[in-house]
Structure 1
Amino acid sequence: MGAAYFYHLTQQPLEAALPRLLEASLKRGWRVAVRGRNPRYLDWLDQKLWLEPEDGFLPHGQAGGPHDALQPVLLTTEAEAPNGATCVMSVEGAQVTAEEVNGLDRVCILFDGGDAAALERARSQWRELTAAGCGAQYWSDESGSWVKKSER
């Protein structure tokens, strides 16, 4: 049974935090689906991921290509991940369900602390998932590194 980890971005933008979280997930042997809501946003994020990490290569692709099943990290707007993801990273407030949390190794919900709508969406997701009995952790980078602030 997995858990939902909420990452409150206050000191770094998504394009800086996401590559590090993806690298850590790949080191655990997880295949990852980065789920967004807007294909144009995922295009932008795809370009950013080709620039990070500076000292290495972060293998990834966008859904809809001929090799989706082979991608260790797949950017998608869909709930189904053809790469067999065991971890979903939600960006832009993309929906995740309690069934996903319970069926995956990890669900990560990344949200911008400077965006009031993103904060409210993350709070709503926290309430929905914990009410459904999912384990959840809240992490903040306000000190410059990730610190766990709450757990249920």
Structure 2
Amino acid sequence: MGAAYFYHLTRRPLEETLPVLLERARGAGWRVIVRGQTPRRMDWLDEKLWLLGEDSFLPHGLSGGPHDADQPVLLTTGPGNPNRAACLMSVDGADVTPEEVTALERICVLFDGNDADALDKARGQWRALTKAGCAAQYWSEESGRWEKRAET
């Protein structure tokens, strides 16, 4: 059984935090799904991940291509697990289910701490997942480094 990790972004934006978490997940040997809300936002993330820098390369792809099953990191707006991922990263309030928490090694919910709607959505996700019996951790970067602030 996996766990849901909630990442409250207050100092660094998504485009800086996501690559770090993706590298850690890949370092654990996991394939990853990054689930967002809109195709336009996923296109934006795709561009950001390709432009990480000369010393960094993070292989990934947008869903809907002929090689979705082969992607180590797949950006999508849909449900399912076409690349047999062990980790799902939810961005921009994309839904996750208790069944996904149970089936996968890790669920990461990244949310913008400067956006009231994003905070409300993340709080609702926390309540729904913990009420369903899922293990969860809340991480904050408010102090300047990531610290675990709560765990169920």
Normalization by structure 2: what TM-score? 0.98
Length, aligned pairs only: 152
Instruction: Give the Å deviation of 1:62.
Output: 0.3
Q: What secondary structure is seen at the aligned counterpart in 2 of 1:139? A: strand
Instruction: Give the Å deviation of 1:81.
Output: 2.3
The answer as to 2:150 corresponding to 1:144 is no
142-151 or 132-141: which moved more?
Answer: 142-151
The answer as to 2:42 corresponding to 1:42 is yes
CA contact (8 A) 1:19 1:53 kept: no
Instruction: Give the Å deviation of 1:54.
Output: 4.9
**Distance (whole Å) between structure 2 residues aligned to residue 144 and residue 112 of structure 1:** 15
46-55 or 103-112: which moved more?
Answer: 46-55
Instruction: Give the Å deviation of 1:143.
Output: 1.5
CA contact (8 A) 1:74 1:81 kept: no
Moved over 2 A (4+): none
The answer as to 2:130 corresponding to 1:130 is yes
Residues 40-119 of structure 1 aligned to structure 2 (within 5 Å): 40-52=40-52, 54-119=54-119
Cα RMSD, aligned residues only: 0.8
CA contact (8 A) 1:59 1:72 kept: yes
Percent identity over paired residues: 66
Letter in 1 for 2:139: W
**Distance (whole Å) between structure 1 residues aligned to residue 54 and residue 7 of structure 2:** 22
CA contact (8 A) 1:7 1:108 kept: yes
